[in-house]
């Protein structure tokens, strides 16, 4: 039985004005924790996490996995959505992850992710850990303040990366200020829906007005979800399940500083599996 992991962390989003601070630390922290538990880990950090590299990395780990293997994929970075182009979304939007070269190569959509994972051996077990969010406005957000240490949502508005002609329009023809956010807003959600033996643990609930936050703890940047997920992971008893882990994280989030509610998505039987075993 092989244990394979891919950890992705992106702070730098050239041309968007929406850089983050804690995502690279997240990826490195996940990689260290998973390595300590016997996983063979590959990492994609900042400029190495282009869209092409993310697709290649996912394809590589999917191809390598066999029945009985355990896979973990972690993503820390911006989430976004974009107008649906193949009419398979009732809300008219594709949920997506933001690669390093988002501005030039576009987002990695839920459709693309789902297509990749449909090739995964059905006997392999998959855990997706997503510290990003997919809820916000269309209009361009103000650039990140390089000196600010306050929490920042890990959401990339469409106005910060899509060309003007591609943005959703109001009935009168102008660019929309907002859209109704998808009720199932994670780009990874479709993987779990199509592979019921898998689990998704994400930093926040799906739908409007739910965010995962870029934060700082003891002057070190991290995602709030990643920080507390790893803090509790290290104190779990040996027989703890994913449901136990999720409950422990829930003792810390939401909080006054980080109003986000981590979510565990999957069938009940999978939630009762022993953590990372």
Let me know if 23 is a catalytic residue. Answer: no
Q: What angle do CA 179, 189, 248 make, to 5 degrees?
A: 105
To which residue do tokens 């939401």 refer? 254
Strands in 70-76's sheet, in edge-to-edge order, are 40-45, 3-9, 70-76, 125-131, 199-202, 263-265
Let me know if 273 is a catalytic residue. Answer: no
In whole angstroms, what is the distance from residue 146 CA to residue 154 CA?
15
Please pick, among 7, 23, 70, 78, the residue that the annotation labels catalytic. 78
Please pick, among 133, 134, 204, 246, the residue that the annotation labels catalytic. 133
List residues with catalytic annotation. 78, 133
């Amino acid at each position: 039985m092989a244990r394979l992991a891919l950890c992705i962390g992106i702070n730098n989003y050239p041309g968007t004005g929406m850089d983050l601070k804690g995502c690279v630390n997240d990826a490195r922290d996940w990689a260290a924790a998973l390595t300590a538990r016997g996983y063979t880990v590959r990492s994609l950090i900042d400029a190495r996490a282009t869209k092409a590299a993310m697709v290649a990395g996912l394809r590589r780990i999917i191809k390598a996995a066999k029945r009985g293997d355990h896979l973990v994929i972690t993503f820390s970075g911006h989430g976004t959505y974009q107008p649906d182009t193949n009419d398979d979304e009732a809300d008219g939007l594709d949920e997506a992850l933001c690669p390093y070269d988002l501005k030039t190569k576009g987002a990695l959509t839920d459709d693309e992710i789902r297509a990749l994972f449909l090739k995964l051996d059905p006997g392999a077990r998959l855990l997706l850990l997503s510290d990003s969010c997919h809820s916000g406005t269309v209009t361009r957000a103000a650039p990140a303040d390089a000196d600010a240490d306050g929490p920042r949502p890990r959401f990339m508005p469409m106005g910060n990366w899509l060309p003007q002609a591609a943005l959703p329009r109001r009935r009168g023809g102008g660019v929309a200020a907002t859209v109704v956010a998808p009720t199932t807003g994670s780009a990874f959600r479709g993987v779990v829906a199509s592979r019921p033996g898998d689990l998704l643990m994400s930093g926040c609930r799906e739908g409007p007005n739910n965010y995962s936050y870029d934060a700082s703890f003891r002057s070190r940047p991290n995602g709030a979800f990643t920080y507390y997920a790893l803090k509790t992971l290290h104190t779990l008893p040996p027989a703890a399940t994913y449901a136990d882990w999720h409950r422990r994280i829930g003792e810390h989030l939401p909080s006054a500083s980080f109003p986000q509610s981590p979510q565990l998505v999957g069938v009940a039987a999978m939630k009762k599996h022993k953590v990372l075993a």
